[in-house]
Structure 1
Amino acid sequence: MRPTTLLPLALLAACSAPDDPKATRSAPEATSTAPEAPQPPTQTPVTARDVHEDNDLYVFDYSYPAAAGAIPALKDLLDKELEKARADLKAEAANGRAEAKANDFPYHPHSHSVEWKVVTDLPAWLSLSTLVGFYSGGAHPNYAYDTILWDRIAGKRRAPVDLFTSKAALSAAIRAPFCKELDRQRAKKREGYEPGGGIPEFEECIDPAEQTVILGSSNGKAFDRIGVLVAPYAAGPYAEGDYEVTVPVSAKVLAAVKPEFKGTFVAR
């Protein structure tokens, strides 16, 4: 069962279109009867993996884009994660159905869905994010965010916050613009609701570095914006859904970046 919430993650993605092809003059038709030169073998393009299983016990969906499949180590990591998620879902669903039968109540198929999408594809980095949807027989499905930041040079996965001197430093650098935008989105969802209006547990700002942090780029060369993906219950009740806040890389953010990654970021 896929969650119905759509992901506006393209706000962080670099959207550069290829240049228009230039017109060229056609050469005169050749009259030689010499045999044509052999053509190099055509490489099979790397395709994304997309698994879908739907039966009486569970619904399982897992996919990742070609950009991730083109990196052997990352493809292996995702394939292993896929198999583990499927095995865990099967075991959980089997237990759930057995419990339902033992207690004589209806069983509703469990579900797990992951759809990795490209946030930013840079020469040295590939930034991915996903909405993980799951249902385990409760009152409603739920979901959470996840991210992968692949370091092409080191050939390994990194957590976005690991590029900063500390979580606290990152939080301090983006907290003011994050909280301002979060409150704006809260007021919009709550139809003009102002702080102090009756939802005290969801009035305070939250720590952005404790949420799912993703790195984005508008120029295709360096990270110049930071996304903070907030799942339900973290900043508001379930009915409000998720929150997605984007803040620019600023001088304060650059000051919080580890020295070895300074060249990976640029202030806007």
Structure 2
Amino acid sequence: MAKNIVTFENLSKLPIIHGFSWGREAENMSEGFDDPSIIQGRVANFLNSLNISSNLPIVRISPDNVSFHDPDILELSKEILKRKLSDAGEIEVGANAIFTKEKDIVLTVKPADCAICIVYAETQEGEIYIGLIHCSAWTTDKLLPLNAIEYLLKVKLTNRAKIKIGITPAISQDFFYVSKKDINLSNWGGFLKEEDGKIFIDIVGNVTKQLKEAGVPENNIETSLVDTFAHAMEGNTFSHRLSRDENFPEGRYIVAVKLK
């Protein structure tokens, strides 16, 4: 594995390929901050390092850059391939949780401070789904992690004992605050603290709680407790909050998953 790519141990023996870019040699992966043709090359190199063909269709969660209205949770079929490509050659979807059972589609998302759940699930008949859940402060406040897993369990009839999840780095509670009007405080019990009139929230803690409440066994959840804000200060990644507050360079890393 390339040294600028991180994977999860609990997903490593499953019939999937996954990983996220990280470290000083992992460059910005978002065309919002670099030329799209350069980004296309970087993403291709990243995927090739994971032994994923960069010629496969790449579907990306992009809630801020779409002109159509997807639901919060979207199952992708080959119909998605009819959509227009972005300047970086990707198919953008506005849903914040995407799942597929198609082997020839690569699921991606390009976060900075938000936690991403990489999801593996099996039905009782052995059908496999993979997915990504984009866990921002606001999607977490809307209980998206809980609802996305309940979708897999109740709609796709997956086996809760076989659901496995890796949670990527996110901004720590020490550095992330919101206004009271931005969240439902009752959804953050045990995962918020108030200091100097600011509400500091623990996104990863709340996400993990929701996953367990939905029925995912605790031992099936692997969490990276790396803080994007602190690591961005060291040059290992990007943090939108750090860029906004301290004038550090903007950028995004990339998370990808594909069925073998």
Q: Do both proteins adopt the same fold according to a TM-score greater than 0.5, normalized to the shorter chain? A: no
Relative contact order: is structure 1 or structure 2 higher (C-alpha 8 Å, sep ≥ 6)?
2
- The two structures have a TM-score, normalised by structure 2, of 0.26
Bigger Rg, which one: 1
- The two structures have a TM-score, normalised by structure 1, of 0.26
